Amino acid sequence: MSMRPYTPEWLSMPVAYVAEVALAVDAVEWWDDPFDPRDATILLVSGAALVWDEESGWRHGRFVSGEKGVRTVLADPRYLGGGVLPRPADVPVLQAMGGSHVRPHYRSFRDYGDGLDERLATYTIPAIV
C-alpha cells in the first residue's frame, strides 16, 4: 500500500471496518478518533461500549466517558481477542464470550506496511437500505 501515514485518507481507513462492526452489534452511536493509535468507539443500547484500536483490537465495558477527540474511558474493560481485525460478524460472538482483562498487543501503531492498512482497505462503508 502506498498511502502515506497521517494523511487524511490514511487516518480514516478504519471507518468502513468500524461501520460494519456497528451494524453487527446493537449500536446507538459510533465515532472514530484516528490518532496514535487509530481507534473508534461504538456505544451500545445496553450502556456499554466497544472500543477498537489498531494495537489491541476490540475491548468492551461500561461506558464512562468519551467523545470524538477524547479517549473513551470504560469501566472494567475486557479485551475480546480474535486479533487486531476480527471479522465484523465475529465481534458480537467474541463479546458474548466475555473477553479478558489482559491487554493483547498485536502490533504497534508505528508498524506501517505490516498489512493492516491493506486489510482495512478491503472494507467499504455499508449501504443503508
| Cα angle 82-85-91, degrees, rounded to a multiple of 5 | 60
Mean pLDDT for the stretch of residues 7-30: 94
pLDDT digits (tens, 9 = 90+) for 95-124: 999 999 999 999 999 999 899 999 999 999
Q: Tally the C-alpha atoms within 13 A of residue 44's C-alpha that lie toward its C-beta.
A: 20
User: What size, in residues, is the chain?
Assistant: 129
Cell of 14: 478504519
For the entire predicted model, the pTM comes to: 0.93
